[in-house]
Structure 1
Amino acid sequence: MCLVFVCGEDEKVLSRQPAPGACPYCGGMIQAMDVETRWNFCFLPLYFKTKRRYYCTICTRPLVLQ
């Protein structure tokens, strides 16, 4: 029996810009990234979603807003 995965997820960075504030871990500059996520099934796009993600430029930790 052979199982082939024909689904996939692609992420593409649309833009980057500096965000206000400082990293709570190291005090570095925070950068905001707009990322487009696309789910594919047999190379056919099924789902698109754009998210904004924040991360530190020095320690490269992803930051979560609470």
Structure 2
Amino acid sequence: MVVFCFLVDQTRKMRRTKPVAGSCSRCGRGARVADMLTATRFCFIPFYWRSWKAIVCTFCGATLKTYR
């Protein structure tokens, strides 16, 4: 019997952040605009990257809004 096992994972990293006017709708703390990078790996080899912007809460870490 042959069994194939593939490992796929996805990581998100914040590259740069800037403060934004307003607050988080969940906890009421401050929010920041972040340049995000998503990397998808297949068997430890990265094969897909995506850059996007998001408004992220500084306290609870919730993603409030995303932009492409």
Q: TM-score range by the shorter chain?
A: 0.5 to 0.7
Structure 1 residues without counterparts, runs of 5 or longer:
none
**C-alpha distance in 2 between matches for 1:46 and 1:31:** 29
Q: Taking every aligned residue pair, what percent have the same amino acid on both sides?
A: 28
Q: Normalising by structure 1, what TM-score?
A: 0.66
Quote the offset at 1:56 in angstroms: 3.2
Give the superposed CA RMSD.
Answer: 2.3
Structure 2 residues without counterparts, runs of 5 or longer:
none
Q: Normalising by structure 2, what TM-score?
A: 0.64
Quote the offset at 1:30 in angstroms: 2.4
Aligned length: 65
Change (3 A) 1:44 1:26: closer
1:53 aligns with 54
